[in-house]
Amino acid sequence: MAVQGTTQRHRTAIRRTALSRPLRLGIEAGLISQEFSLFDYGCGRGDDLRGLQARGIPCRGWDPVYRSHVERQESDVVNLGYVVNVIENVEEREQALLDAWKLAKKVLIVSARLNVEAKGLNHPQYNDGYLTQRGTFQKFFTQQELRDWIDTALGGSCVPAAPGIFFVFRDPAQRQSYRAAWYRRSVTAPVQQQSHELFERHIDLLLPLMDFFTSRGRLPHEAELPNAIALREVFGSLQRAFGGVQRATGKERWETIRGERAQDLLIYLALERFAGRPRFSALPHDLQLDIKALFGTYTHACSAADNLLFSVGNMDVVNAACREAACGKLTPEALYIHATALSFLSPTLRVYEGCARGYIGLVEEANVIKLSRRKPQISYLSYPDFDRNPHPALFGSLVVNLQTFQVSYRDYSGSASPPILHRKEQFVSTDYPSRAKFERLTRQEESKGLYENASLIGTRNKWDELLDEKGVQLVGHRLV
């Protein structure tokens, strides 16, 4: 990654006060931790390195200008963060990717700027990108272009972590583990419902067993549970130990968890068809055990996953699933849900949304998801003040068309009168912490006739005018 030439690459190294998005996502995914070494390939001024070191994460970095003296070395995780988009030479750009991949023992994180960021910029074209006023080069990729380029150069199948950010796994089995965990919902273990002396006496011994079943929907093999021998000594077997758990906590809830984990696994298998499902023998051992326990055979599981995936191609099926959804705000055109309510949707709608997320990755800023009922399209909407503001304004929307896989972005942050939300309780699940507060506000606003004409409340200015006309104002989530 040379410095000479027409462009001034070193000027793209920005100062950071917080970790960059690729590294934050790596930490959240459990790929970056104190247990793994990290090398930052093209680390700029080293702000990310200092942030990682403050967290106790072993890391080093190299940069052709600021840290050229550092030897490039193999590490568990290598970060190639917003480097390839500043290299104007196509061959040199690919070589930087290949060199970084050679150093990655477990995972390579690749990130680059997307074309949605180039909207409104008026830079002269240079090679396959643009020359900025500062004399730097910027190549703006589409999501698909970046993905295809990485896969072609490295001969693998990268995983989208977020728009413009991809994880490339050295071990295909680790890739499958990461993908399967992505669709595994958060579930809590049942609590004790009736007195059971043996359960109460050995609760600390039984908790790891309960946690495992809650996580996987099946009993562990003894090698998967650190205290399996101790449990066997007390109860005779893991099956008998779990029988005691069921008698104390109730059997039905555990059956529900088993069904939920089967659904999660089905969704993973359905969406993995796009990348090409691996052979059963190539799956991680724990996933093989999951499939055997929950579906019997891999063939049966894949057949059920295919049926689910193909059903999503029928918009009548999607539309019916939207109408029957347990939560969300239903309009003639779409179902809107808060991001936290995604796990409460049917498998059909989770796969429908998963088709977009499997392509674009996690849209971090989005807290409301719009599932279109009439055309295959998912929108990720950002309402930064959803909890605090009684009627939060739309900050931006990212739209994924599932036919063309084109991604578009619209910025509302500078709008004088952006769209706003009403009836927030409809977007969230029944156990959402602030739902009761949202419902109370909606009842107050209905009693004042504020919802009589929907065309008068969709934007901030029209809503404020209506409040003035009615002689009321909002103080937090109270109408006064």
CA dist., res. 392 & res. 420, Å (int): 5
The pLDDT tens digits of the residues spanning 86-143 come to: 999 999 999 999 999 999 999 999 999 998 887 666 777 778 878 876 778 889 999 9
Query: If you ran DSSP here, which 8-state letter would residue 65 be given?
Result: T
Q: CA nearest 424: which of 443, 450, 408?
A: 443
The pLDDT tens digits of the residues spanning 392-424 come to: 999 999 999 999 999 999 999 999 999 999 999
Q: Rounded to the nearest 10 degrees, how much is the dihedral formed by the CA atoms of 189, 193, 195, 198?
A: -20
Q: How far is CA 283 from CA 34, 248, 318, in A?
A: 26, 35, 30
Helices (H) then strands (E): counts for the chain: 16, 17
The pLDDT tens digits of the residues spanning 123-133 come to: 777 788 788 76
pLDDT of residue 2: 40
* Domain ranges, ordered by start, for the chain: 9-170, 172-311, 315-425, 433-479
Confidence of residue 152 (pLDDT cuts 50, 70, 90): very high
pLDDT of residue 122: 72
Q: CA nearest 93: which of 149, 135, 145?
A: 149
Mean pLDDT of 318-339: 97
The pLDDT tens digits of the residues spanning 6-24 come to: 555 555 555 667 899 999 9
Of 453 and 310, the structure prediction assigns the larger pLDDT to 310
CA dist., res. 34 & res. 372, Å (int): 42
Entry pTM: 0.90
| Range ranked top by mean pLDDT from 153-157, 347-351, 405-409 | 347-351
Mean pLDDT of 420-434: 96
Q: CA nearest 339: which of 441, 433, 429?
A: 429
Three-state DSSP at 364 gives: coil
pLDDT of residue 100: 98
pLDDT of residue 467: 94
CA dist., res. 451 & res. 422, Å (int): 9
Q: What is the length of the chain?
A: 480
- Report residue 277: phi and psi, to 5°: -65, 140
pLDDT of residue 153: 97
Query: If you ran DSSP here, which 8-state letter would residue 366 be given?
Result: -
Q: CA nearest 429: which of 351, 370, 344, 348?
A: 344
Q: CA nearest 160: which of 351, 22, 336, 277?
A: 22
The pLDDT tens digits of the residues spanning 254-267 come to: 999 999 999 999 99
Strand order in the sheet with 159-162: 59-62, 38-41, 75-81, 104-111, 165-169, 159-162
Return the CATH superfamily for domain 9-170.
Answer: Vaccinia Virus protein VP39 (3.40.50.150)
Please classify residue 201 by burial: count the beta carbons closer than 10 Å to its beta carbon, then call 0-12 exposed, 13-18 middle and 19+ buried: exposed
Percent of the chain clearing pLDDT 90 (strictly above): 85
310: left (phi over 0), alpha (psi -120 to 50) or beta: alpha
- Does residue 344 have a pLDDT over 90? yes
- Does residue 52 have a pLDDT over 80? yes
Amino acid found at 331: T
CA dist., res. 29 & res. 364, Å (int): 13
- Report residue 318: phi and psi, to 5°: -65, -45
Provide the token pair at 216. 């996987």
Q: How far is CA 380 from CA 269, 345, 355, 397, 410, in A?
A: 24, 16, 13, 6, 11
The pLDDT tens digits of the residues spanning 194-244 come to: 788 889 999 999 999 999 999 999 999 999 999 999 999 999 999 999 999
42: left (phi over 0), alpha (psi -120 to 50) or beta: left
CA dist., res. 203 & res. 262, Å (int): 27
- Does residue 156 have a pLDDT over 90? no
Q: By the 8 A CB rule, do 23 and 48 touch?
A: yes
Mean pLDDT of 436-445: 96
Mean pLDDT of 327-346: 96
Mean pLDDT of 290-306: 98
Q: What is the mean pLDDT of the chain?
A: 93
Confidence of residue 3 (pLDDT cuts 50, 70, 90): very low
Give the list of residues 6+ apart from residue 98 with CB closer than 8 angstroms, or none. Answer: 153, 154
HSE-CB for 283 with a 13 A CA cutoff: 20
